[in-house]
Amino acid sequence: MIFGRDKSVIGIDVGSSSIKLVGLKKSKGLYSLEFFQIAPLEPETIVDGTIVSKDNVIDKLREMIVHNAIKSKSISTSVSGHSVIMKKFSYPYMTQDELEEQIQWEIEQYIPFDREDVYYDVKIIDSMSMTNEAGKMEVILVAAKKEVVNEYTDLFSEAGLKPMIMDVDAFAIENMFQLNYPGYENDIVALVNIGATITNVNILENGASAFTRDINIGGNLYTSEIQKQMNVSQEQAESLKLGGDFGAPMETTEAVIPQEVGGIIRSVSESITSEIQRSLDFYVASSAKGRVSRVFLMGGSSKIPSLANVIETKLELPVEVVNPFKEIEINQNKFNFEQIQEVAPSAAVAVGLAMRELGD
Ligand SMILES: Nc1ncnc2c1ncn2[C@@H]1O[C@H](COP(=O)(O)OP(=O)(O)OP(=O)(O)O)[C@@H](O)[C@H]1O
Ligand SMILES: [Mg+2]
């Protein structure tokens, strides 16, 4: 732990399509933006959650530090996907020592990796909260494979950064949400982060995480389906998805393209929605304390114009795209406000990471 005066850390979210960097300044309880950058990674740098090209990531991180003239090197970052396991337990009230003993047992029981191979942490959800019966305490156990965590920390160290806090995407998103969307403390809401390869579903009951799941599906599916069905290159498929121009001329007539693309996009949106639905159904069947009342979307793929509509229609729930900077002051002399709003949903995890403080 570090007892410096400045407890702030830079939030860095290494996604498979880009690295997001966010720095926040907290003064009198209010946040303002200090650093912000989204730097695209070359395709194939991270595949299936594994960093294939370490050098690409390290180079990019170094560039980002220089570009933003970052002096303090303390960062918080996160892991997600199949190397992380989260599980919620409900116990009668117990002391810290008893809890520690209990957790050791749960790890043996529920974590499919050897105990020596994981880092773990427990988070006690307020035992007095309204969701709990009196005298009960709810605990979330998070275990992450040491191998994966170490790979990330080594990488940051090599880039000249000090990884001080290792979070998980779901909790970072929860913190970001609590800052920007107060007023949902008495509701059940689903936070859905749709990236390029992973979709994190995190259901909050009365402001606390009750169910989390990482699904291996994301915006890359739109691109690969367009590529396959229209027989175009990956770059062309990506720009068709984004509605941009197509670069090299294509054989198909322009009039047909938007329609065909629209159809593919719609059917992929339906597949993604089915996966989200499956998670919500699983939550309802297993542990629900009521009905989900609203879906909050984030991640780069929440920018797909029709996705929110498809989810809204199929799940019969109101859907809102999250702005992680909603309650964060952005100095318009220093930042391009419109540009930031444009890419904001991608920064959901990084904003949550930047809200962490040394020693917490
Ligand atoms: N305007 C847009 N319209 C449609 N899709 C978009 C848009 N902007 C970004 N995307 C898509 O969002 C995805 C990237 O989102 P995000 O930055 O949240 O992912 P990531 O964090 O890099 O990936 P992951 O977390 O899955 O490893 C890509 O598939 C990209 O094509
Ligand atoms: Mg991501």
Domain assignments of the chain as residue spans, ordered by start: 1-82+147-181+323-360, 85-138, 183-321
Q: What is the pLDDT of residue 18?
A: 97
Superfamily name with CATH number, domain 1-82+147-181+323-360: ATPase, nucleotide binding domain (3.30.420.40)
The closest of 300, 301, 349 to 77, measured between CA atoms, is 349
Contacts of 105 (CB under 8 A, 6+ apart): none
Q: How far does residue 281's CA lie from ligand 2's centre (Å)?
A: 23
Domains 1-82+147-181+323-360 and 183-321 share a fold: yes
pLDDT per residue as tens digits for the range 65-94: 999 999 989 999 998 877 888 888 888 888
Beta strands at 162-168 and 319-321: parallel, antiparallel or unpaired: unpaired
What pTM was estimated for this model as a whole? 0.91
The pLDDT of residue 90: 86
Q: For residues 195 and 304, what is the distance between their CA atoms, to the nearest angstrom? A: 11
Distance from C-alpha of 160 to C-alpha of 157, rounded to nearest angstrom: 5
CA 282 to chain centre: 20
State how far the Cα of 256 lies from the Cα of 124, in Å rounded to an integer: 55
Q: How many Cα neighbours within 13 Å face the side chain of 156?
A: 24
Distance between Cα 45 and ligand 1 center (Å):
15
| Closest atom, ligand 1, to C-alpha of 38 | 17
**Pocket-testing residue among 47, 303, 342, ligand 1, by greatest number of atoms within 8 A of Cβ:** 303
Short-list 108, 68, 107, CA closest to 86: 107
pLDDT band at residue 259 under the 50/70/90 scheme: confident
* CA pair distance 173, 298, nearest whole angstrom: 9
pLDDT of 243: 83
Q: Which is it for strands 188-194 and 199-205: parallel, antiparallel or unpaired?
A: antiparallel
State yes or no: pLDDT of 124 exceeds 60: yes
Q: Is 130 a residue whose pLDDT tops 60?
A: no
| Strand-pair partners of 92 | 136
Mean pLDDT for the chain?
90
Q: State which ligand 1 atom lies nearest to the alpha carbon of 41.
A: 22
The three-class DSSP label of residue 212 is strand
Question: Which residue is listed with tokens 């926040």?
Answer: 24
User: What pLDDT, on a 0 to 100 scale, did the predictor assign at position 126?
Assistant: 61
- CATH number assigned to the domain covering 183-321: 3.30.420.40
Q: How far is CA 201 from CA 30, 111, 279, in A?
A: 28, 20, 7
pLDDT of residue 244: 57
- Token representation of residue 233: 């290159």
Q: Which residues sit opposite 24 in a β-bridge?
A: 33
Return the structure tokens found at 302: 């929440």
3-state secondary structure of 40: strand
pLDDT confidence band for 247 (50 / 70 / 90): very low
What is residue 178's three-state secondary structure?
A: helix
**Half-sphere exposure of 278 toward its Cβ, with a 13 Å CA cutoff?**
13
From ligand 1's centre to the CA of 313, what distance in Å? 22
Mutate to test the pocket of ligand 1, among 297, 301, 309 (most ligand atoms within 8 A of CB): 301
Helix and strand numbers (H, E) in the chain are: 10, 16
Residues in a beta bridge with 139: 89, 124
Listed in sequence order, the DSSP H helices in the chain are 54-67, 96-110, 146-158, 169-180, 220-230, 234-241, 256-286, 307-315, 337-343, 348-354
String of DSSP letters for 115-130: GGGEEEEEEEE-TTST
In whole angstroms, give the CA distance from residue 244 to residue 242: 5
Q: What residues are in contact with ligand 1 under a 6 Å CB criterion?
A: 15-18, 195-198, 218-220, 238, 241-242, 299-301, 303-304, 346
Contact 134, 80 (CB under 8 A): no
Residue pLDDT, tens place only, 13-51: 999 999 999 999 999 889 999 999 999 999 899 988 889
Query: How far is residue 360's CA from residue 267's CA, in Å, rounded to a whole number?
Result: 43
Tell me the C-alpha to C-alpha distance, in Å, between residue 142 and each of 76, 87, 120, 132, 194.
Answer: 17, 7, 5, 20, 21
